[in-house]
Structure 1
Amino acid sequence: MKVLIIGGGGREHALAYKIAQSKKVNALYCAPGNAGIEEYAVSVPIGVMEFDRLADFAVKEGIDLTVVGPDDPLVGGIVDVFLERGLRVFGPKKDAAIIEGSKAFSKELMKKYNIPAAASETFHTAKAAYSYLETCPYPVVLKADGLALGKGVLICNTPEEAQNGVKLIMEDKQFGHAGDVLVIEEFMTGREVSILAFCDGTDIAVMTSAQDHKRALDGDQGLNTGGMGTFSPSPFYTEEINSYCMEHIYKPTMAAMKKEGRSFTGILFVGLMLTQEGPKVLEYNARFGDPETQVVLPRLKNDIVEVFESCIDGRLSDIKLEFEDNAAVCVVLASKGYPLSYEKGYIIEGLDKAKEKDGVFVFHAGTRKENGNTVTAGGRVLGVTATGSTLKEARENAYKAAERVSFSNKYNRSDIGKAIDEIV
């Protein structure tokens, strides 16, 4: 069968790697792709928001299955466009992708169906938000309602910080129209865990756990980013916690979306906080996480195309997910200055050398081909991922591989998974 991946980042490279392993697939395309994805797929120069052009390509090439990676096209309704053209596509429709597209919607959903989450209030004007901040307890978390590349979240310790945050989001429009509506929620403490799950509209199959490092600098300092590295599994996400979440969070979320007339088929990403009161939802996403995908998919034993098809056909209950009994760590190599301003176009060296050891993957995020060279083309450039029998071994393998890659202005955190591997 012919498969098309929509997207061009590290998540899509990891998807291409996994889909290419399927015995069902004999041709793989990626739009727009990147320099690394070309190892597995033919790059198609069409942007992720060019829905009609993408659908035209799928029809013309006889694509049997399209897998959508990023949030923007999902929230924008690409799945609806493909379905209207009679094409098989994996991902939630627009009315279901709102679970990520609007934090206000997801917070109201959790309140309505008693799904454990941080207490929150939603505001449509800056004036109302400022008034609330005068009496609320601190610290608080400010969240732009819409999509903001994973950066529209501010943790504020004082009223002054919070007021500045409201101005930044709602008045200065730092995140554009994503900040037209603002969610203010209580600050929760505990261990963060990322859970990706396959969904078929009724049933949900949870993948192995992961943990992201969102802050730009070591020690979880600096600005929020799209993610500076991940590890899998989380030693804190036990079978007992999984059972609790299945009963109180995962299944109720699926049932709630179905009851709201927004049946969810695709990948549900649940960001959890393991608080003293029990697990609570930090956020929902409607797609594979980035860079969580880079540590979860290399550990997946199943033929991922078979799982995609079971979701589309409403028979996910027939699938039993299996994962390797190992660990994986992803270290993101970024351009210095990310997530703010940074320079592009630097030649990347050492890519082949980094992959010499078995169990090492170099997933491209912001790269392109230029005059026969692979050059930097984004803030997050590469996700160097390695497996190991333990988290500590996987971390050592990932950092050794990362050291073999070089480019001007290269930057990475040095502590991905460090605090955890010292514990376990």
Structure 2
Amino acid sequence: MKFLFVTRYSLLTALANQILKEGHEVKYAVLSRSEKEVGDGFVEKVENWEEHKTWADAIIFDDSDFGDICERLRKEGLKVVGGTRYSDKLEFDREFGSEEMRAAGLNTIPSWEFQDFDSAIHFVRTTPGRYVVKPSGKAQNDKVLSYVGQEEDGKDVITILERYRKGWGKKIRRFQMQKFVSGVEVAVGAFYNGSKFLLPALINFEHKKMMNNDIGPSTGEMGTTGFWASDTRLFNETLGKLESRINGYVGYFDINCIVNSRGIYPLEFTPRFGYPTLNLQLEGILSKWGELMYALAAGQDFQLRTKKGLQLAVVVAVPPFPFTDYDTFKKFSEDAPVVFKKPLTEGVYPCEVKLVEGEWLLTGTSGYSVVVSGSGSTMDDARKEAYSRVKNIQIPNMFYRTDIGERWHRDSDLLQTWGLLT
């Protein structure tokens, strides 16, 4: 079959490469100018994806905010993996997302939407408490701007809001403040073919901070762990209640939650591929990816085959990650080689990388270099495989967390105790 990939920030290279290895034809379009070299040498690159849309048996978009385009292409009779206007709004408009959660019968955490910092600061001063600050719109893609309050009187949140007002007032137009709820953070995701979810679902745990023990700036994710399950309370009380509401959406759909002994509290939607969640899926899915992507785009049923046990993915990055600074990347990381001590690339996925004369070289601007995965019947086994693969890699100035998966034993015990995995 023929697959056309359209990506803004070029993080679909590993999936496109996998489908190419399965014997399909692949064309790959990168929209961001700073990422134009990403994927070179791995797959065939094209400049204008619209010129190739009728060539493709399926067109795959990797991100939210392509909803308008995806709906237009579907009206033209083309098969598309990607969002809708509705799914885009679920992610970018946090207040709308919360309203849709309540309409679907999900538990929600009290939250408040603000369009200026003075109003939010006044709110915290008059209603002291522990809050989480989350930008809305496209600013939420910059994960370093999210802040989880640490003090019960909210004084640290006031300080952060004052800094945001001074430094990022033009960047953050709208933001949500959510009451802090303690518990285990866990996400539930599954592939949706336009009318139904294809089970099993992926129960996954994100590690968002840059350094071990969840210290440092938020990065999106530095690593993820997960397992596949078909029938759990976590799915039935979250995605299961949304199945009839997201008709028309095609692709991976994820909902992040806080859970505790009192229940499941959804936090936010991710109606798109996640990173490094996609690499975790590449490790854990046994089905052919080309067949899966085509079935999704065509609205077909599909028997998804996955590994038993647990999977783990570790992000290996270089400066300036998690920030974007072209000068720093150019000085410290541009064209640096990814060296394999032994010629083994299994479980190692290129991200902001190009292939030149058989050598992996870093490109792009962010330093999000490679993701390394592992699997096993226990989390200790999955950690051992993933980190042995990490140790086979050498990149100048590379860094990664060494504790991905360590909190699994505590988190899984709590989820079992609360009856959420059955």
TM-score of the superposition, structure 1-length normalised? Answer: 0.82
Matched letter for residue 41 of structure 1:
V
Query: Which of 302, 310, 322 pairs up with 2:305?
Result: 322
Q: Residue in 1 aligned with 2:156?
A: 161
2:280 is matched with: 295
Helix, strand or coil: the match of 2:258? strand
1:228, CA displacement in angstroms? 0.7
Aligned to 1:74: 66
SS state of the match for residue 227, structure 1? strand
**SS class of match (1:385):** strand
Residue equivalent to 2:369: 381
Alignment check: 8 A CA contact 2:226 2:310 kept: yes
2 CA distance for matches of 1:209 and 1:303? 21
Matched, 1:365 2:319: no
C-alpha distance after superposition, 1:108-155 (max 9, x if no partner):
212333312322111223232122212335321011011332504211
Establish whether residue 231 from structure 1 lines up as the match of residue 233 from structure 2.
no
Structure 1 residues 382 and 420, CA gap change in structure 2 (3 angstroms): same
Shift of 1:349: 4.3
Q: Does 1:198 align with 2:191?
A: yes
The verdict on how the C-alpha distance between 1:170 and 1:232 changes in structure 2, with shifts beyond 3 A counting, is same
1:28–1:40: 8 Å Cα contact kept in structure 2?
Answer: no
CA distance in 2: counterparts of 1:354 and 1:11, whole angstroms: 25
Is residue 66–residue 84 contact of structure 2 (8 Å, CA) maintained in 1? yes
Superposed, 1:52-131 pairs within 5 Å as: 53-59=48-54, 62-71=55-64, 73-74=65-66, 77-83=68-74, 85-131=76-122
Change (3 A) 1:329 1:389: same
Superposed CA RMSD in Å reads 3.0
Aligned to 2:238: 249
Shift of the 156–423 alpha-carbon distance from structure 1 to 2, 3 Å rule, reads closer
Distance 1:55 1:343, change over 3 A: same
Separation of aligned partners in 1, 2:10 and 2:225: 15
CA distance in 2 between counterparts of 1:406 and 1:130 reads 46
- Deviation per residue, 1:213-239 (Å, 9 max, x gap): 1101110011110211112228xxx77
Matched, 1:284 2:278: no
Equivalent AA in structure 2 for residue 106 of structure 1: G
* Cα distance, 1:355–1:175 mapped onto 2, change above 3 Å: farther
Distance 1:119 1:149, change over 3 A: same
> Measured at CA, do residues 164 and 369 of structure 1 come closer, stay the same or move farther in structure 2, by a change above 3 Å?
farther
- Structural mapping, 1:3-82, within 5 Å: 3-7=3-7, 11-20=11-20, 22=22, 26-32=24-30, 37=39, 41-44=43-46, 46=47, 53-59=48-54, 62-71=55-64, 73-74=65-66, 77-82=68-73
Report the CA distance shift for 1:222/1:380 in structure 2 as closer, same or farther (over 3 A): same
Task: Give ranges in structure 1 of 5+ residues lacking alignment.
Answer: 47-52
Does the CA-based 8 Å contact 1:10-1:383 persist in structure 2? no
- 1:169-189 superposed Cα distances (whole Å, 9 cap, x missing partner): 56643782xx21111111122
Q: Report the equivalent of 2:419.
A: none
Q: Output the CA distance in 1 between the equivalents of 2:411 and 2:341.
A: 31
Q: Is the 8 A contact 1:170 1:182 kept in 2?
A: no
Seq. identity, %: 20
Q: Is the 8 A contact 1:210 1:233 kept in 2?
A: yes
Alpha carbons 2:4, 2:52 under 8 Å: kept:
no
